[in-house]
A and B are shown apart, each in its own frame.
Chain A
């Protein structure tokens, strides 16, 4: 099956193996925004100033909204009767496919800003391309989320600049955060076998085409922040294939304990 640019595809038109790959992939996208949204929500009530506390809670909410749209679609693709809640609350850590970056701890504000910037820069450019996917559902979710991601990237870019070009202390902290987190940025654009299969079908963007715009944005922001570009080339990976850092288990313990303890419980 090869999609032509003008063709619109949807759930009913996919052969079973494509449907299975797409299920896996949509789950990966949903896991990613769920885990990052959860991390940001941990700041709620603890932000350095009120406006930034609100900003992080707002970004978390946008990500959770995107998460819901994606889990709903994943549940339909799977077609086994599982709901969005089952997918979020009743899967094991090894079944989660979020990249390692988004599960990294909040650390201090600089750590959170750097993690957010590295993710937003990918998310924004990725969603921009995903809007042209022949898969009508993914394209619609992307169209909505892209507008929100633009606000996120503006926020995190401006904070990289403020911290980098701020005081001696803020600069040291942002440099330390970069040295801890840069190694997780490569996984975002490093396709798994599932992603490669969907890319070759033309259903999702080829990540290699996103990299020039992502690099240009990093260069522009870092220049204004007076920060040197990181030179580290070794990149961690594994999260998208279910191999996680120790941090994910703690997140899921908090996210899932209620449904695990009282199955089917509702508010």
Chain B
């Protein structure tokens, strides 16, 4: 019979298909795990409503648990409370930056998004670590990222945008 602790360990080995250095625990999208006998229930929350990775993540969770012989798995999509970048772990942020994506600035997930033409707080270039960067577009290569460019090393980079 699987224990809750074991399930959490296995989830550590399920990765975001779009940012494969991050486990789904690093991302903070697993909201709860319940084990009742052989039945395992996992609640995950989407980063964005239209995140195309959610189906893949659910399949990957099933496959990882199946490899341990755990077959009775229910995965619920939990919309509330809405995911925020503040749930990303410190380890996750470090991995993200090492991968070349600027990590969300903590604690800036709410408010002032309607501040027209306003800048986010300083975003650090993942390559040269300069904070002298500018926003190119709030909408980047995936729903969860914005496009930035470094004004010092000129590197264009993705920023995991605050949410």
Chain A residues packing against B (C-beta within 8 Å): 51-52, 54-55, 57-59, 61-66, 68-69, 136, 139-141, 143-145, 147-148, 150-151, 153-155, 157-158, 161, 221, 224
B143 CB contacts on chain A under 8 angstroms: 58, 61-62, 65
B87 CB contacts on chain A under 8 angstroms: none
Least distance between B41 CB and chain A CB atoms (Å)? 18
Q: How far is the CA of A50 from the CA of B163 in the complex (A)?
A: 23
Least distance between A88 CB and chain B CB atoms (Å)? 14
B140 CB contacts on chain A under 8 angstroms: 54, 58
Establish whether residues B139 and A59, one from each chain, have CB atoms under 8 Å apart when the complex forms: yes
Chain B residues packing against A (C-beta within 8 Å): 46, 48-52, 79-83, 113-117, 136-141, 143, 147, 163
Establish whether residues B136 and A51, one from each chain, have CB atoms under 8 Å apart when the complex forms: yes
Q: How far is the CA of A25 from the CA of B51 in the complex (A)?
A: 24
10 smallest CB-CB distances across A and B, nearest first, come from A65-B50, A65-B49, A140-B80, A58-B139, A55-B139, A140-B79, A61-B50, A51-B137, A150-B113, A144-B82
Main secondary structure of the interface of B (DSSP, over half): loop
Least distance between A69 CB and chain B CB atoms (Å)? 6
A143 CB contacts on chain B under 8 angstroms: 79-82
Q: How far is the CA of A202 from the CA of B141 in the complex (A)?
A: 40
- A62-B50, A143-B80, A154-B115 are known contacts; what are 17 more A-B pairs with Cβ within 8 Å? A51-B136, A51-B137, A54-B147, A58-B140, A58-B143, A65-B46, A66-B49, A69-B49, A69-B79, A139-B80, A141-B49, A144-B46, A144-B79, A144-B83, A145-B49, A158-B117, A221-B116
Q: How far is the CA of A40 from the CA of B52 in the complex (A)?
A: 17
A147 CB contacts on chain B under 8 angstroms: 82, 163
Establish whether residues B48 and A150, one from each chain, have CB atoms under 8 Å apart when the complex forms: no
Q: How far is the CA of A68 from the CA of B50 in the complex (A)?
A: 8
Least distance between B51 CB and chain A CB atoms (Å)? 7
Closest-by-CB residue of A relative to B110 is A147
Q: Which of B50, B81, B83 touches A64 (beta carbons < 8 Å)? A: B50
Q: How far is the CA of A102 from the CA of B81 in the complex (A)?
A: 29
Q: Which of B49, B81, B116 touches A157 (beta carbons < 8 Å)? A: B116
A62 CB contacts on chain B under 8 angstroms: 48-50, 143
Closest-by-CB residue of B relative to A72 is B77
Least distance between A122 CB and chain B CB atoms (Å)? 15
Q: List 30 interface pairs A-B (beta carbons < 8 Å), by A numbering.
A: A54-B139, A55-B139, A58-B140, A58-B143, A61-B52, A62-B48, A62-B49, A62-B143, A65-B46, A65-B49, A65-B50, A65-B51, A66-B49, A68-B50, A69-B79, A141-B49, A143-B79, A143-B82, A144-B79, A144-B80, A147-B82, A147-B163, A153-B114, A154-B115, A154-B138, A155-B139, A157-B114, A157-B116, A158-B116, A221-B116
Closest-by-CB residue of A relative to B118 is A154
